């Protein structure tokens, strides 16, 4: 892997080049990069050196397509693996033909209120101008706090897949599981569940 893609440190050092290339070759690409001051091993501030903190990005075709989607946006985060274990946040929408459209991404250090606020602020600034949006999520504390703090009147509801996964994990009764899945299959898409 290292021979093909380089090591983790080298990849981070190439981030500015990637950002420049995306802006040049994918016009309309929006990238918000935040860095922090770098402190060396002796805890001394290293002037002129910065380290990655978090980054948001979206692409112009996604921004242009979003107004033609249903007024639902699903947001979630997943751990990245390797030397640096940040979290990838993603927002997706769905068009009238049930096609899933990824609309925004971010890499953050933690899935907390500050990270979600960074993501939602940029999502609002660059992608979603409509107030009549329903956010579908696992309703984590950090996300809910960020939505409330933003003052944007987006509604927030639980993702049915998270409810189903928690139900199946917590209740071992096979008949209950069958009934739950049966009910879930009668829900309208995208809310139906199947396992």
Q: What is the pLDDT of residues 126-177, one digit of tens each?
A: 999 888 888 888 878 888 898 888 888 887 776 666 666 766 777 777 777 6
- pLDDT exceeds cutoff 90 at 117: yes
Torsion of CA 113, 88, 193, 133, to 10 degrees: 50
- Percent above pLDDT 70 for the chain: 84
User: Cβ(111)–Cβ(37) under 8 Å?
Assistant: no
The tokens of 36 are what?
Answer: 């922090």
**17/77 Cα distance (integer angstroms):** 25
Query: What distance in Å separates the CA atoms of residue 30 and residue 109, rounded to the nearest whole number?
Result: 20
Looking at per-residue pLDDT, the higher value among 32 and 16 belongs to: 32
- Lowest-confidence region among 105-109, 115-119, 131-135, 172-176: 172-176
Pick the more confident residue, 172 or 23.
23
Report whether pLDDT(179) > 80. no
Alpha-carbon dihedral angle through residues 78, 103, 12, 27, given to the nearest 10 degrees:
170
Task: Say how far apart CA 190 and CA 132 lie, in whole Å.
Answer: 18
| pLDDT(195) > 50 | no
Q: In the chain, what's the furthest Cα-to-Cα distance?
A: 63
Q: Classify residue 94 as exposed, middle or buried by CB count within 10 Å of its CB (0-12, 13-18, 19+).
A: middle
pLDDT of residue 191: 47
Please list, in sequence order, all residues whose beta carbon lies within 8 angstroms of the beta carbon of residue 189, skipping any fewer than 6 positions away: 98
- Residue 26: the pLDDT is 92
The alpha carbon torsion through 10, 14, 15, 21 (nearest 10 deg) reads -160
């Amino acid at each position: 892997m290292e021979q093909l893609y380089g090591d983790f440190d080298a990849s981070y050092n190439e981030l500015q080049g990637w950002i420049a290339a995306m802006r040049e070759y994918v016009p309309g690409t929006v990238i918000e990069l935040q860095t922090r001051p770098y402190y060396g091993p002796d805890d001394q501030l290293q002037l002129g050196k910065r380290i990655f903190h978090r980054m948001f990005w979206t692409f112009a075709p996604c921004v242009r397509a979003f107004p033609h989607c249903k007024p639902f946006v699903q947001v979630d985060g997943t751990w990245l693996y390797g030397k640096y274990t940040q979290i990838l946040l993603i927002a997706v929408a769905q068009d009238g033909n049930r096609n899933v459209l990824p609309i925004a991404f971010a890499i953050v250090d933690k899935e907390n209120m500050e990270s979600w606020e960074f993501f939602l602020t940029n999502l609002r600034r660059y992608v979603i101008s409509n107030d009549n949006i329903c956010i579908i999520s696992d309703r984590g504390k950090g996300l809910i706090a960020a939505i409330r703090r933003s003052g944007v009147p987006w509604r927030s509801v639980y993702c049915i897949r998270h409810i189903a996964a928690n139900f199946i994990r917590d209740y071992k009764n096979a008949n209950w599981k069958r009934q739950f899945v049966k009910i879930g299959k009668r829900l309208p898409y995208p809310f139906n569940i199947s396992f």
